[in-house]
A and B are shown apart, each in its own frame.
Chain A
């Protein structure tokens, strides 16, 4: 049985822009353009996509914070537009970032407040608060003010908050955003633990590695549309004959990217990153092994450092699917 269903979901925002002579011009932004997917009971479903793709809008609609402009969405069989109250009791929501907690009071007091807002009897909240704090590893900091917590600790406290009322469905919107690698790994371990406990989870992220190791299925969303929906393994297979070549260019100069694109052929995707005077260029091309030999000659041997050739990861597949062949330079 599907726990979440999303059918042809559309959402537009009306905004006003200041135009000529300071006059306000109404403008419409299409955040979602007919998104359809389902999430099964106990599944960990990932929504990945670049900033502004529409991931958070989907979470806000499913968590009853926003109404869809068109289309239908249900959570646990209830319509998000008409049965918001029934849904709210049975879902937990985590919005990414540090905010969403009261910094001047303790972790315990934050959790007690939200337990009250979810109408947990005192006897239940007195049991649940230590349980969830233990689950996220904050039991020793329960009495400390939240504004003394690190970003990772705040994020773990957010998870504790959204587990308080034992929700069946969790919406985790970019839970690792802004965290250092250790903090991000702790959160990922926690998410895996929650899945093992039987929660249905919808996770949004733009870290492909995260989606790869955590999610049962991944939906790639771009410009408000779902462009792919498959397991991480299936997504990697969507680019079967693709190789990824990373080139360290020691002396970047104009025209080099055009030269690389010419070598890679019409389907070559390029990503460029600056690093201390170097340029790291990532090429995706079907001509991988042949290119490794050609690149030093084309760019000049003393201008090129290390060249590595590897199989594509989910991130490579994602870049290919979202940006298209020659469109990845902005990444």
Chain B
């Protein structure tokens, strides 16, 4: 119950703080819509498949969501410490830190839904209404699972950037490998063979598969393996994040980095 209340509180607070900020309009709506639009315009010169257009538009939305999540994962601790000064307080509440920061990321993923909608709408406009979500119910479930799995993947990065601070300087380089491995804008089959083996380890790959599949009309049974992969990888990411976050908290209590950093 403790964890749930903390999760609920942190989720609500993140939405209150960041949903309607003007700067978020660019990152949450304009960026994914632009990515999707560029993908469609490039693809249209060589391809006329509605399924391929759908994939690229879903990929554009997911790319936007991933970018926002990665930014949140990398900068949340710094923001709580340097902007709000709340990090010491969050560190001494009874609630587990993974519930607080996990909720922030899930709230950010929820904001990212707007990017998926924006990307699909822009594509729909460019293509004159030629795309459609064939299985909307399966698509909706896939979208929620995808958001959760991207949030879980981002949660792994949160302690990692504390343990390896130099990574914060290379945030974009952390963003693009996932674009490639997930096949956001083109099929992963186009990548070198060794990268094809890595893709299934990245939940964003299964998110793209599940959402594109649902948009193209895969039924419940066809999409179940994708959902299972999303759920399994998310659970693994969350478990790894909990271990790493607790390691960070212990190291901070030992080193006093919160006070001297």
Contacts and interface: CB of A to CB of B under 8 A. Distances in A.
B17 A102 contact: yes
A116 B6 contact: yes
Contact of A117 (B6, B17, B85, B256): B6
A67 interface: yes
A104 B73 CA distance: 21
Interface stretch (A36-44, A56-64, A285-293, A303-311): A56-64
Interface in A107-122: 109, 112-121
5 contacts: A67-B253, A100-B85, A102-B17, A116-B9, A119-B5
Contacts of A89: 94
B19 to A, nearest CB: 11
B9 A113 contact: yes
A83 B254 CA distance: 15
Interface of B: 1-2, 5-6, 8-10, 12-13, 16-17, 84-86, 88-95, 100, 253-256, 258-260
A97 B88 CA distance: 13
Interface in A75-130: 85, 88-89, 91, 93, 95, 97-105, 109, 112-121
Contacts of B253: 64-67
Contacts of A65: 88, 91-92, 253, 258-259
A67 B9 contact: no
A178 to B, nearest CB: 13
Contact of B95 (A101, A103, A117): A117
Q: How large is the interface on A (under 10, 10 to 19, 20 to 34, 35 or more residues)?
A: 35 or more
Contacts of A103: 84
A116 B84 CA distance: 18
A279 B258 CA distance: 41
Nearest to A80: B253
A14 interface: yes
A15 interface: yes
Nearest to A94: B89
Interface in A1-51: 11, 13-15
Given A56-B259, A66-B259, A93 B13 contact: no
Contacts of A114: 9, 89, 93
Contacts of A115: 9
A98 B88 CA distance: 14
A95 B9 contact: no
Contacts of A93: 88-89, 92
Contacts of B1: 119
Nearest to B91: A65
Nearest to B18: A104
Contacts of A121: 5
A14 B255 contact: yes
Given A57-B259, A65-B88, 12 more contacts: A63-B92, A64-B92, A64-B253, A65-B92, A95-B89, A99-B85, A102-B13, A104-B17, A112-B12, A115-B9, A117-B5, A117-B6
Which one of B17, B93, B256, B260 has the greatest number of beta carbons of chain A within 10 Å?
B256
A119 B95 CA distance: 7
A170 to B, nearest CB: 13
A28 to B, nearest CB: 12
B253 to A, nearest CB: 5
A58 to B, nearest CB: 12
